[in-house]
Each structure stands twice: as structure tokens, then as C-alpha cells.
Structure 1
């Protein structure tokens, strides 16, 4: 972990140093953490190629949380420590590790919300308390960083918390909402940048078959298709269908099949299996002619949030 500009001390709600006193008990690791891990955002094409062999994982992978950098941020009215947290499913091997930047107040807000909703599950989970002095010393920030790593790991191990709206809000909901705003405003490139970031986090936290992962894939597909980028759109459609699997009841299935058939036709790719599945759905009583478009479903998700 890199510690930047840790020589000052002042009072600040985000810079309150870790005092050594915890709500609960926590053991610290002695090993040093390296801050030279490189984060990588995947493009839509890389998404399919990188993950093709692991799409069948229903649940999330085992995620390691590592604070790889802690930097003091100063502006005219505030001073705080910004923690960069790396999420990796297989540390050192993950092709798409991803980092988020959060300050102490973000962690504190998450902790307050979760303790209010899940008091029993968090009764023995430690969280660093605020203190009044020593906010920016390297030693205290390093100790707090280790505490945040173990705190997030403990939260992740509790399914009710991992799948909670509070956990989603901490990790990606702000970017997800911004991405959907861009879609509604026709700003598809801006939406793609945010939604690819969100998708990387959702896959790690929720697993590949979670409905929110599929909906984000569909949102990215809508963006690329609207901009007539058939190749990445087709790869995203193929990935989304793989995630849906045999679930004929999924609301996105028929719109995805219709769009996939169209994209394969434009790209000169084989589409007989897609047409056969659509035919079987029709024979089973599904209305394949009047299904909403994928764009309608994507926008509907945004309107329900």
C-alpha cells in the first residue's frame, strides 16, 4: 500500500485516525502490501473472451479486498484520506481487477446503515472508531487500511449483506445511476464507460447469473447496438444469453433472442440455434411477437430504481 502525504494532523470526519480501539475484535496481518497492482477495465469484447470459461459460476468468486493506496486529499474547505480498494477474485491472476476510491465517511455510512439493518450479523464485526487527533499519520492510516480490508471481507462473507442495497450503494450504485442517466439522454459512450466499470464490480460481488449482472449486460448491449457497433453488441448478447441459461421465464430472454438473431444476420454468423429456441418458446405459449424491446426493459429498470 502506498501512503501519500501523511505528515499532517488535523480534525476531519474522514481523517479521524484509527485509535487502536474497535467495536469487536480484529487481528492485523503483518505482511506488507504492495501498491503497484495495475487495475484494468475490460472492453465489451474482452469481457466475452476473458470470461468465456467461467460464465457458468452461479455465485460470486472469492474476492480479496486490498487497500492499495491511501492519499491525503486537500481542498480549500476539506482535508481527508482517500482509500483505493482493489477487488480481485484471484489476487495476482485476475485479468480484470478493479479499484474503487472511498473516504472514511463512506465506510462509516455503510457501517451505520448495515448495523441498523443487520444488528445480529454485525454484533461481533469490528469497525475502526473515530478519534479527534492523529488523523494523517502513516502508521494509523496503514492500520486503518488493514482494518477496512478485513471489514469488507467479513461483510462479503455474509450473503444477506453482500446482496443488500446498502452494499451495492457503497460499491457501484452511483455509477450505475449515472450510466442509466446517460442512456436516457442518448449519451451512449459515456454510459458504456460507467457501465463497464459497474459490470466488473457486479460480476465479482453478485456472480455471473445474478439478474443485475444480466441487466447491466443488456444495458451495454443496448448502447453498442444503438451506435451500430454490431460486433461488441453480438458478443454481449451471447454473454447475456449464456448467463440466462435455461431460464425460459427471464424477462430479457425473448428480446435478447430477437436482437441476437438480427445481429447474427448482419454479421453473417450462424443463428439457427437462436431461431430454434425462439420457436420453442412460441410453441410453449410465450408471446414472442409482442415482447418489449431490450431498450424498454433497460429503461424500465432505471425508472424502478
Structure 2
């Protein structure tokens, strides 16, 4: 009978004493990164003067970022001071008590277009957004996300209605990137109209892979929160594209059949494109 060989001890993780200084520093950074909460950050790095025949005004470039993540590109939108003013008034209608000490930077009666006033207000508006986001009820309300996406979303849906799908895609991608930064504090259905519009544009541009990916990404939130009018339309699109792409669609087809039976046909009245063009009218 053969004798058992020597027992091999399981490999152990290197002790702290065996790690180099560089490895210890990297481990410490990684640990801090895991513990650090994600925060929304706002920057207004620049502003520009827009001139029309009868008017002249300043638009501010608002950059939205998330802390603790590498972003390959900076996503931003432009807003006028009057946009900030109207936004602040809407917030006061709902959160006057919570915003008692948070004041919107005032508009100057003179020299509004001078470089020093523009620079001063740019920094003040940047600080205003940071203070707003520090208020929990504001951070968890839909108002801030809408302020930073709704104008672009309305414009994009207008482009979809006009059949300008390529131009709409550019706007929708900006909207989606900003909305996704808000998702830790917002209802996941926030991105459903945007993803549905993206799927519609890609479909009409004969880009089935991208259309399938966008529709598939929207489906979990639609299922979870019972958005059945979107659910049927998304499933219908996914089944159609799935057959075109050679993807397995049996489960999607079964889900669509069950949904239509439960709704007695009502859920199948509108295609995804019809739903998209009805949004933000």
C-alpha cells in the first residue's frame, strides 16, 4: 500500500510584512475607494454670451460628474440664469422650509454681460448646485434630474417626431448619461423613456444590435415597476429584433403572450415608436 505523500498546506495570502510599500499603498487606495460613497458633483467651467437680433444673454455650461469613477468624457448641458430662477421657484413651491437658508444667486440689474459679473455668477451657480444636492429631500426628488435633462429630452423627442433620428441620438445619449448618474437616488424608471427613444432611433437607423441593447436595458425597471404599456411595446420590439439577430426569444415571446392575455389586448395597442413620439409633446 502506497504511503500518503506529504500534506501540502493551502496557499496563504501574503502578509502585510511581505508586501512592498507600493502594494500597501495600492491596497489602501482600493479599500478607501470601496468605502467612499458615490456623490454627484457639479462644475460650471465656462459660460458664453449668445446674441440674437433683439436679445443677448449668457448660457452656463453645467458639467455633471460622479465622484470615485473614471469618466472617459465629460457630459454637460447649457442653462441660462432664467432657467435656474424658474427651477428654484419650483423647488420653493415644494420645499420652501427645507430651502429656507439656500438662496439662488441674485441677478444684477446692470453689467450682467461683463466678464467679472459672468465669472462671479458662474462660480455662485456652481456652489448653488452643490448645496442643493446636499439637501437630502432635493437629492431624492426628481426635480434636479429634470432640470438637467428635460429640455434636451424634449428637443430629442421633437427630433424623433421629425424623423431626424441621428440628431436625436446625440441628444438622447447626453440625457441618458446624466440620468444614469442620478440613479443611486432616483427611481430606476427615470431612464425608461430615454432608453425607449434610443431603441426607436436605432431601429429606424437600421442598427438592430444597438436597438436591442437599449430596449433590453429598459426592460428590468419596466417589469419591476409595472409599466405595462412600455413592457408590451418593448417585448414586441425585442422579439422582432431577436428573430432578426438570431437571439433566443422564446421566453420574451411567452412573456408578451401572457401580458397580452392578461390585458385582453389593451397592452398591444401601441408600438414603442408610437409611445415615444407621444412623450414630451
Q: TM-score, normalised by structure 2?
A: 0.70
Match of 2:202 in 1: 224
Q: CA deviation at 1:236?
A: 0.7
Matches within 5 A, 1:1-305: 62-73=39-50, 78-90=55-67, 93-95=70-72, 97-132=74-109, 135=112, 141-158=118-135, 161=138, 167=144, 170-206=147-183, 210-248=188-226, 250-278=228-256, 281=259, 285-287=262-264, 291-292=268-269, 293-303=271-281
Answer yes or no: is the 8 Å Cα contact 2:232–2:260 preserved in 1.
no
Structure of greater Rg: 2
Q: CA deviation at 1:223?
A: 1.9
Q: CA deviation at 1:217?
A: 0.8
Look up the SS of the partner of 1:302 in the other structure.
Answer: coil
Q: Distance in 1 between matches of 2:89 and 2:105?
A: 12
Q: Distance in 1 between matches of 2:51 and 2:197?
A: 36
Segments of structure 1 that go 5 or more residues without pairing to the other structure are: 1-60
Segments of structure 2 that go 5 or more residues without pairing to the other structure are: 1-37
Query: Root-mean-square deviation (CA), in Å?
Result: 3.2
Distance 1:242 1:104, change over 3 A: same
Spell out, residue by residue over 1:223-279, the C-alpha distance to the aligned partner (whole angstroms, 9 max, x if none): 222333211111111111133354455321122112111111101122233234335
Q: CA deviation at 1:86?
A: 0.6
Look up the SS of the partner of 2:163 in the other structure.
Answer: coil
Q: Distance in 1 between matches of 2:153 and 2:75?
A: 15
Q: Distance in 2 between matches of 1:282 and 1:291?
A: 7
Distance 1:290 1:249, change over 3 A: closer
Answer yes or no: is the 8 Å Cα contact 2:260–2:267 preserved in 1.
no
Instruction: Tell me which of the two structures has the higher relative contact order, counting C-alpha pairs closer than 8 angstroms and 6 or more residues apart.
Output: 1
Q: Distance in 1 between matches of 2:162 and 2:134?
A: 38
Q: CA deviation at 1:187?
A: 2.5
Q: Distance in 1 between matches of 2:171 and 2:187?
A: 20
Q: CA deviation at 1:115?
A: 2.6
Q: CA deviation at 1:218?
A: 0.7
Spell out, residue by residue over 1:40-64, the C-alpha distance to the aligned partner (whole angstroms, 9 max, x if none): xxxxxxxxxxxxxxxxxxxxx6310
Match of 1:18 in 2: none
Q: Distance in 1 between matches of 2:103 and 2:166?
A: 41
